[in-house]
């Protein structure tokens, strides 16, 4: 039997590795950042780097990025054109080099659905035991307002809580010295801490379902609609009967089947369905506490003297320059030694790099948007139906940069135009051929389909094949399955479900 030798030894190896400078990761982040995030990043850099200072608007000056440091180079030069042209594709892992502070939005304190329901519950004339059960059930209601678990699970949960707190409560009562008082307290505890039953939970759920918003606490959409109809005093109406007994036929728009079952006309069924459609299938969402998403456009497109001009919307960004006082320190060769030299070189290079990176981000965004404006001029003049197909590769080839760079520049960026505010990604989509040889954006085709459906005769709604024929008459070559896909993406029902009597 052979034995392996177990001992330590050293060996020399020669290998090639690709490592990325941490600054390049930060440059990628700067391209990716929307305007508000960039403002926070600049504020952090100014706070950490004494070589950076914010210029006043009236005294802004162009920063010389190459100072007189020929005798003592302050670090490696960075070729920004090469970096951007290569799309930063140089490998490495960010975690190896740096840990950057993350800026998270601070939510404004607001009342969510659970708080709103609990507040109403405590205003009712309920016992402590009933309130505790009600809070348990409310805790199992999801953001849409639906009960997210079977009611017996809520009962098990509240009984488990009783088992945890009962020993402590009993111990505290047993410490009472007066026998009669202790016996009375124990009797009250016995009544208070006896296990909840499913019947109690059913009664409490009925109480919760009577709270605002109407329909909250239902176990499914059908029950939620029934609750809302009952609260409107329509529990004996046609709509209530339709939802209660013919819900599947309702959601599939089988008006004739419902009409025959109820002995009424299809028109009456449709009128009832129209009323039902105005009810809220997810009543809890109106109390959602998701923070409002505010959009500040990074770019502005304006039409001036018949031409569309592109501007960077960066007037709120602080303008940076190298601090003259610290620059004088860097030029003092007597202080520029040892640890001071390393610190000064690092901060000086970082300051120069930051200024260059922000300017490069700005110029890259302008290049991309100028190409989009040139390519999509018909959209700005005539609307979405004239949007042309466009890909990241086309933009990258035109501005001679890497496709990943264009992707970072357009991601989470918005532009203010004469037609409204759009995400830059809005202008990118695949295309369909036309008989004229031109291409039409898929988004433009979807808009055409929507316009056709909006203008159709509701008694004879357009089938997918009819839409194909109409598009072909407009010169658009498209398959029926593609029309069906676009229709579903826009939430448009099939023709048989759009039909009206």
In the prediction, which pLDDT does 66 show?
41
* Contacts of residue 159, Cβ cutoff 8 Å, sequence gap at least 6: 195, 196
In the prediction, which pLDDT does 180 show?
61
- Give the closest residue to 193 by CA, choosing from 152, 154, 159: 159
Per-residue model confidence as pLDDT tens digits over 384-437:
878 888 888 888 888 888 888 888 888 888 999 998 888 888 888 776 655 554
Ranges of residues in the chain with a pLDDT under 50 are 57-76, 78, 80-81, 83-107, 437
Per-residue model confidence as pLDDT tens digits over 91-143:
444 444 344 444 444 445 556 888 899 999 999 988 888 888 898 899 889 98
Count CA atoms closer than 13 A to 137's CA, side-chain side: 30
Please give the helix or strand (H or E) that residue 322 lies within, else none: strand 319-322
Name the pTM for this structure: 0.59
Dihedral sign for Cα atoms in the order 357, 361, 363, 367? positive
Evaluate whether 168 touches 243 at the Cβ level (below 8 Å). no
In the prediction, which pLDDT does 100 show?
42
DSSP one-letter code for 196: P
**Mean pLDDT rounded to a whole number for the chain:** 77
Q: Are strands 414-417 and 307-312 parallel, antiparallel or unpaired?
A: unpaired
| CA Rg value for the chain | 34
- Give the closest residue to 294 by CA, choosing from 8, 35, 485, 90: 35
In the prediction, which pLDDT does 57 show?
47
Query: Which ranges constitute the DSSP H helices of 146-303?
Result: 151-174, 179-192, 198-209, 221-231, 238-245, 247-251, 255-262, 266-277
Evaluate whether 227 touches 209 at the Cβ level (below 8 Å). yes
- Give the closest residue to 329 by CA, choosing from 351, 346, 342, 344: 344
């Amino acid at each position: 039997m052979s034995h392996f030798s177990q001992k330590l030894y050293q060996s020399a190896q020669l290998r090639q590795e690709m490592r990325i400078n941490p600054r390049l990761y930060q440059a990628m982040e700067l391209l990716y950042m929307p305007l508000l995030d960039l403002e926070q990043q600049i504020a952090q850099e100014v706070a950490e780097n004494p070589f950076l200072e914010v210029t006043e608007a009236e005294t802004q000056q162009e920063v010389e990025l190459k100072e007189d440091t020929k005798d003592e180079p302050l670090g490696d030069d960075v070729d920004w054109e090469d970096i951007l042209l290569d799309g930063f594709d140089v490998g490495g892992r960010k975690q190896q080099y740096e840990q950057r502070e993350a800026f998270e939005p601070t939510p404004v304190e607001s009342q969510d659905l659970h708080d709103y329901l609990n507040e109403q519950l405590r205003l009712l004339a309920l016992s402590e035991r009933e309130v505790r059960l009600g809070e348990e059930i409310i805790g199992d209601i999801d953001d849409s307002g639906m009960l997210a678990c079977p009611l017996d699970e809520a009962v098990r949960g509240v009984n488990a809580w009783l088992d945890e707190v009962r020993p402590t409560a009993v111990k505290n009562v047993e410490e009472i010295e007066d026998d009669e008082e202790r016996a009375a307290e124990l009797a009250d505890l016995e009544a208070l801490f006896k296990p909840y039953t499913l019947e109690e939970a059913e009664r409490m759920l009925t109480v919760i379902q009577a709270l605002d918003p109407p329909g909250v606490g239902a176990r499914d959409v059908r029950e939620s609609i029934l609750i809302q109809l009952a609260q409107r005093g329509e529990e004996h109406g046609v709509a209530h009967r339709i939802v209660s007994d013919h819900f599947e036929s309702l959601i599939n728009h089988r008006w004739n089947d419902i009409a025959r079952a109820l002995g009424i006309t299809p028109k009456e069924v449709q009128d009832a369905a129209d009323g039902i459609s105005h009810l809220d299938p997810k009543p809890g969402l109106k109390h959602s506490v998701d923070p409002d998403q505010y959009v500040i456009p990074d770019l502005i497109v304006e039409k001036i003297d018949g031409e569309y001009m592109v501007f960077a919307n960066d007037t709120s960004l602080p303008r940076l320059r190298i601090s003259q006082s610290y620059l004088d320190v860097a030029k003092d060769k007597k202080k520029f030694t040892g640890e001071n030299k390393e610190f000064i070189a690092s901060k000086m290079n970082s300051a120069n790099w930051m200024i260059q990176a922000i300017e490069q981000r700005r110029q890259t965004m302008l290049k991309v948007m100028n190409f989009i404006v040139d390519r999509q001029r018909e959209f700005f003049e005539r609307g979405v139906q004239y949007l042309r197909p466009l890909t990241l590769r086309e933009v990258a080839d035109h501005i001679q940069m890497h496709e990943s760079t264009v992707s970072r520049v357009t991601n989470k960026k918005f532009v203010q135009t004469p037609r409204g505010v759009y995400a830059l990604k809005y202008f990118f989509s695949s295309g369909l051929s036309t008989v004229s040889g031109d291409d039409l954006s898929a988004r433009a085709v979807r808009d055409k389909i929507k316009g056709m459906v909006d203008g159709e005769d509701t008694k004879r709604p357009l089938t997918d094949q009819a839409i194909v024929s109409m598009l072909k008459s407009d010169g658009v070559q498209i398959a029926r399955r593609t029309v069906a896909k676009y229709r579903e993406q826009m939430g448009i029902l099939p023709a048989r479900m759009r039909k009206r009597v």
